[in-house]
Amino acid sequence: MTTAPALMSFDEALERFDPVMGLEVHVELNTVTKMFCGCPTEFGAAPNTQVCPTCLGLPGAMPVVNGKAVESAIRIGLALNCNIATWCRFARKNYFYPDMPKNFQTSQYDEPIAYDGWTEVEVDGETFRVEIERAHMEEDTGKSLHVGTSGRIHGADYSLVDYNRAGIPLIEIVTKPIVGTREKAPQVARAYVAHLRELLLSLGVSDVRMEQGSLRCDVNLSLKRRDDERFGTRTETKNVNSLRSVERAVRYEIGRQAARLSDGDSVVQETRHWHEDTGVTTSGREKSDAEDYRYFPEPDLVPVAPDDAWVEELRGTLPEPPREHRARLQKEWGFSDLEMRDTVGAGALNLVEETVAAGATPAAARKWWLSDLARRANERGVDLSDLGVSPTDVARVQELVDEGKINDKLARQVFDGVIAGEGTPDEVVASRGLAVVSDEGALSDAVDRAIDANPDVAEKIRAGKVAAAGALIGAVMKEMRGQADAGRVRELILEKLG
Amino acid sequence: MSHPIRRTAAELADALAAGETTSVELTEAHLARIDAVDVEVHAFLHVDRAGALEQARESDERRAAGRSVGPLDGVPVAVKDVLTTKGLPTTCGSRILENWVPPYDATVVTRLRQAGLPILGKTNMDEFAMGSSTEHSAYGPTRNPWDLDRIPGGSGGGSAAAVAAFEAPFAIGTDTGGSIRQPGAVTGTVGVKPTYGGVSRYGLVALANSLDQAGPVTRTILDAALLHEVIGGHDPLDSTSIDQPVPPLVEAARQGAAGDMKGLRVGVVKELTGEGYQPGVQARFDEAVQLLVDAGAAVVEVSCPHFVHALAAYYLILPSEASSNLAKFDAMRYGLRVYPEGIADPNAEEVMRATRDAGFGDEVKRRIILGTYALSSGYYDAYYGQAQKVRTLISRDFAAAFEAADVLVSPTAPTTAFKLGEKLDDPVAMYLNDIATIPANLAGVPGLSLPSGLAEEDGLPAGFQILAPAMADDRLYRVGAALEAALLDRWGGPLLDSAPALAETPKEAVR
Amino acid sequence: MPDITRDEVAHLADLARIDLSDAELDHLAPQLAVILDSIRSISEVAAEDIPPTSHPMPLTNVFREDLPRPCLTAEEALSGAPQVEEQRFAVPRILGEDA
């Protein structure tokens, strides 16, 4: 292993260089079947059980385009304000790799289905426009498992390949170079990917589960000297697979490249690998000029030529654009600008929206997602949506609180249980015995014991100093280990001493 | 009744329908013929004795129960080894696929099975259909039944020789640049390349996807029409398949056989006759044109000026597509795996390289490298891009010619069968065999070859090619049947009756 | 268009993952040069304004409905594999981009 490269501090790097980013996002579509054959796309099946002659690349087999995937590609293009090609083709990208059954990837080359679009993302109240170069259709590869001492490709004795993922439809969305983001570059990158995720989710075209690889991001980054118009040499950091990592990878590459350039070294044009655990990128394959994919139109497929009627019909199916959507929600929910920005910034907009849809009040939904749950996600280093708590869960917990079956303190324990995989909130309440004690007899006995143990406090209350009741409530709650409705305890104390 | 193997498929179908014979009897007769002559001819790479007899038995049972599934139910057929057959080896004549048994049937094979045709076996071919002589088969050449020292044409020499040697009533071939028609010409048989998209390519191991087409290899025009109707028609598994009904071909063949060609305009393609064509081939062609005139057709000369570039365009498009198609043969998922010598712990790349070197023959390597070159950055526009433009020009030539004529005609191949080994190391000379057949593949139009007689200088068969506009395959059958009838009349019987008898290997010597 | 050199053939064979021996290179390179020579005329044929034909039939928009079809069984899928382990294709160690 090479020694860790020098890094320049982020602030210093930004003083001397402007980052230029290009983001390539691969999205797995959630079609029922693969891009070019009728094999199911379901995740997690036994190895090599979702394959056919076509996706296995058997001699003689032929591809047929999944119309639903084309439809999804066009909808994504439209949502990103792209032009939709009136005529485009698939092309073969020829290179040898054992994960790829045909040793070419059926993709699109110079004729993407969607091109020249734009979208906007917000960071700290500032809007950044991101130009979209293209969105094109292609297919995924199989997955190899490396058997050997190190458990990685290099040094593995052999590999085991499962082609269930081969042929899953992918849309690759490529931005034009993103410039002028300065110190916000890492956040803009993250916000862009978060925004895409939100958009794709609202379109219903993908599950966008980064942890399952259904949304993957490659980060291209170069640094431009502040006194120079020319772009620097870029690196391509592959497989940055969480929102946090996108931000961290951009920040890391800025520091690394700045250090190299300042030391008089050049940045090598190469593929780099992102390491989630250590938060660094390492050198991968050098991009050589000899790399020659020998693209040519796929002769087994015919051109895709969406007519206006079809494109307009699909345009009619687009959901409300995120910006308008946010404005409408803010009004409906009565959030302040700051509350709304925090909600969006935490990546909780959809979660809050779905929680409200599941029956919670907007304020309650925001409270849970942005405080307790955000803290837990942060502790675990995962995105909020990957925490393992669903909007339905949150709404149900709030409902239990409102019904007096649990209190806020117990609610936090319920969330712990849900995150730990112990089941639904109701199941966690049952299995952990978290329900507040509503047995009047037990509660009454506990109050009596508290009064007996604190005669001076009881006397004050009898004398009309109602505020003193807090001490008795605390004692009762302590005895009940928190599983009592504090309001009812208070009522009982006042009844007995009134 | 004459020996069943000498009868046409149509006659066998009639005999089955009349209860004069059984499918088992016919299948056994052909298997016996294969045993007797294939040691010399080597038309088959794999004979499926048990499977064919089982399918024949089932056919006989269906017939006995009154549930025959079509006119050819029970008539055995041979299939070129480039079409996948579930449970039957499919090698494409290549070492790299030795012993590969596909887990699925090509659509053409599915349709043969659905129509009740027992499959006798898989026929020999140039490796991955690259060649015009069947000498590029990794399993040894097929020999021409007319002269065992000569080539049977290629790439489908196995199917043509099997039919010419009466080892099968008919067979399936594939034609990328003439691989059905040219073997037909040099073996005195009939071969048809349907309109591109007219027959499904699903399960046809691709040589050049935009040129390949499967079709019938037979001894008569009517048999070709019968077989074409079985395998033709739309297939949702092939995106390039035409979603329209196949025109009535059998009907066209029967009408044509009546011989009335009045009103037909026959275009002789100037660029595909004369110089470079063997005198006896040219003479038989001229006589055949005269027979069409005698039957009432009008002859016009048409010019297709861009045909002279067809060969160059073809030898850019084909290797380009082929180099990509053949990338899948990499020792990972199926087929041969060869470990390189002298490397202790080879990686996947090294195993791929060693396997592809050991598994592919010279011609395949030549074309893969040529295709890799034509597609590589810096050369794409000059070669592949330019070839596709030439393709447009050739299609325009056809369109103009079909304004002036209903069908176009030419000799199928410039010469009769040459000697084995004669052109093996001279690729350009070998490529010239396909000069007259290639334009049809580039434009996607259908073409048919039928025997026009024997060239006087060597006594070997010559072929007559008929070309029609896309989707007008029926014209091939109408005109072909008329010419066939006139020729049979002139010859007093089938041309194959003049072929020398093949020495039969005694039964005990076989296996 | 320049003549194809022996080195160039070696490079193309490398791109095509074929381990050509020196003897094979000596044999194939001149043959390829002859073939290329015979097709060289192509570059002078078609004018700028001629559209390329990638396909003989002008079909467009051939799509499949998003409905599952039967898959092969794992046994069928793996039936031709040179080596199988844990219901997967066992292949020699992969040197490559994704670590």
**pLDDT tens, position by position, B457-490:** 999 999 999 999 999 999 999 999 999 999 999 9
Return the residue of C nearest to B425 by Cα: C31
Residue B505: per-residue pLDDT: 81
> Residue A64 and residue C63: Cβ atoms within 8 Å?
yes
> Residue A161 and residue B332: Cβ atoms within 8 Å?
yes
> Residue C97 and residue A284: Cβ atoms within 8 Å?
yes
Indicate the range of A76-85, A166-175, A409-418, B312-321 predicted with least confidence.
A409-418
> Residue A59 and residue B209: Cβ atoms within 8 Å?
no
Show which of residues 311-330 on chain B sit within 8 Å of chain A, judged by CB atoms: 320-321, 323-324, 327-330
Residue C2: per-residue pLDDT: 55
Q: What is the pLDDT of chain A when averaged over all its residues?
A: 90
Give the model's confidence band at B511: pLDDT under 50 very low, under 70 low, under 90 confident, else very high. Answer: very low
> Residue B240 and residue A60: Cβ atoms within 8 Å?
no
Q: Are A360 and A401 in contact (CB under 8 A)?
A: no
Residue A156: per-residue pLDDT: 52
A159 in contact with C at a CB cutoff of 8 Å? yes
Residue B265 to residues B184, B230, B292, B299, B449: CA-CA distances in angstroms?
25, 29, 10, 6, 18
Residue among A205, A302, A307 with most chain C CBs within 10 A, to mutate:
A302
Supply the angle between the helices A308-315 and A67-79 in degrees, to the nearest 10: 70
A60 in contact with B at a CB cutoff of 8 Å? yes
Residue C97: per-residue pLDDT: 42
∠ CA(C84), CA(C85), CA(C91), 5° rounding?
60
> Residue A38 and residue C68: Cβ atoms within 8 Å?
yes
Residue A288: per-residue pLDDT: 55
d(CA C48, nearest CA chain B) in Å? 9
A285 in contact with B at a CB cutoff of 8 Å? no
Give C7: exposed, middle or buried? Use CB within 10 Å, 0-12, 13-18, 19+: exposed
Give the model's confidence band at A286: pLDDT under 50 very low, under 70 low, under 90 confident, else very high. Answer: low
Return the residue of C nearest to A270 by Cα: C97
Residue C37: per-residue pLDDT: 86
Indicate the range of A280-294, A330-344, B398-412 predicted with least confidence.
A280-294
pLDDT tens figures, C12-69: 999 999 999 999 999 889 989 888 888 888 888 867 789 998 888 889 999 999 999 9
Q: How many CB pairs under 8 A join A and C?
A: 145
Show which of residues 358-397 on chain B sit within 8 Å of chain C, judged by CB atoms: 360, 362, 365-366, 368-370, 372-373, 376, 379, 382-383, 385-393, 395
Q: How many CB pairs under 8 A join A and B?
A: 103
What are the chain C neighbours of A156 within 8 Å (beta carbons)? 93-94
> Residue A69 and residue C99: Cβ atoms within 8 Å?
no
Residue A128 to residues A120, A188, A459: CA-CA distances in angstroms?
6, 8, 65
Residue A125: per-residue pLDDT: 80
A290 in contact with B at a CB cutoff of 8 Å? no
Give the model's confidence band at B325: pLDDT under 50 very low, under 70 low, under 90 confident, else very high. Answer: very high
Spatial distance between the Cα atoms of A167 and A57, rounded to a whole number of angstroms: 10
Spatial distance between the Cα atoms of B85 and B105, rounded to a whole number of angstroms: 5
Q: Which chains touch A (3 or more CB pairs under 8 A)?
A: B, C
Size of chain A in residues: 498
Q: Which helix (H) or strand (E) holds B443?
A: helix B438-443
Residue B279: per-residue pLDDT: 96
d(CA B92, nearest CA chain C) in Å? 15
d(CA C30, nearest CA chain A) in Å? 23
Residue B256: per-residue pLDDT: 97
> Residue B390 and residue C54: Cβ atoms within 8 Å?
no
Nearest neighbour of A64 by CB, restricted to B204, B239, B348: B239
> Residue B392 and residue C50: Cβ atoms within 8 Å?
yes
> Residue C72 and residue A299: Cβ atoms within 8 Å?
no
Residue carrying structure tokens 């012993």: B99
Residue A287: per-residue pLDDT: 58
Residue C62: per-residue pLDDT: 97
What are the chain C neighbours of A89 within 8 Å (beta carbons)? 54
Q: Which chains touch C (3 or more CB pairs under 8 A)?
A: A, B
B208 in contact with A at a CB cutoff of 8 Å? yes
Spatial distance between the Cα atoms of C13 and C24, rounded to a whole number of angstroms: 11
Show which of residues 88-127 on chain B sit within 8 Å of chain C, judged by CB atoms: 100-104
Supply the angle between the helices B23-41 and B49-64 in degrees, to the nearest 10: 160
> Residue C89 and residue B444: Cβ atoms within 8 Å?
no
pLDDT tens figures, B66-93: 999 999 999 999 999 999 999 999 999 9
Q: Are B364 and B94 in contact (CB under 8 A)?
A: yes
Show which of residues 160-199 on chain A sit within 8 Å of chain C, judged by CB atoms: 160-163
What are the chain B neighbours of A38 within 8 Å (beta carbons)? none
Q: Which chains touch B (3 or more CB pairs under 8 A)?
A: A, C
Residue carrying structure tokens 């502040």: A226
Give B298: exposed, middle or buried? Use CB within 10 Å, 0-12, 13-18, 19+: middle
| Portion of chain A with pLDDT greater than 70, in percent | 96
Nearest neighbour of A96 by CB, restricted to B320, B321, B327: B327
Q: In what order do the strands lie in the sheet with A126-139?
A: A83-84, A114-123, A126-139, A169-175, A17-28, A215-225, A235-240, A270-275, A280-286
Spatial distance between the Cα atoms of A155 and A65, rounded to a whole number of angstroms: 38
- How far apart, in Å, do the first and last CA atoms of chain A sit? 76
Per-residue pLDDT for C98 more than 90?
Answer: no
| Portion of chain A with pLDDT greater than 90, in percent | 59
Pairing of strands A65-66, A215-225: unpaired
Cα-trace Rg, chain B:
22
Give the model's confidence band at A164: pLDDT under 50 very low, under 70 low, under 90 confident, else very high. Answer: very high
pLDDT tens figures, B102-156: 999 999 999 999 999 999 999 999 999 999 999 999 999 999 999 999 999 999 9
Any residues with CB less than 8 A from the CB of A229 and at least 6 apart, and which?
none
> Residue A104 and residue B327: Cβ atoms within 8 Å?
yes
Spatial distance between the Cα atoms of B294 and B289, rounded to a whole number of angstroms: 9
Does the predicted TM-score (pTM) go above 0.90? no
Alpha helices in A49-164 (DSSP H): 67-79
Residue B297: per-residue pLDDT: 98
Residue A3: per-residue pLDDT: 61
Nearest neighbour of A49 by CB, restricted to C15, C64, C71: C71
Average pLDDT estimate for A436-465: 83
A204 in contact with C at a CB cutoff of 8 Å? no
d(CA A76, nearest CA chain C) in Å? 18
> Residue C63 and residue A31: Cβ atoms within 8 Å?
no
Residue A1: per-residue pLDDT: 44
Q: What would the two tokens of residue A162 be?
A: 């499962």
Any residues with CB less than 8 A from the CB of B279 and at least 6 apart, and which?
B455, B457
Residue C99: per-residue pLDDT: 36
∠ CA(A413), CA(A416), CA(A421), 5° rounding?
135
pLDDT tens figures, B363-413: 999 999 999 999 998 788 888 999 999 999 999 999 999 999 999 999 999
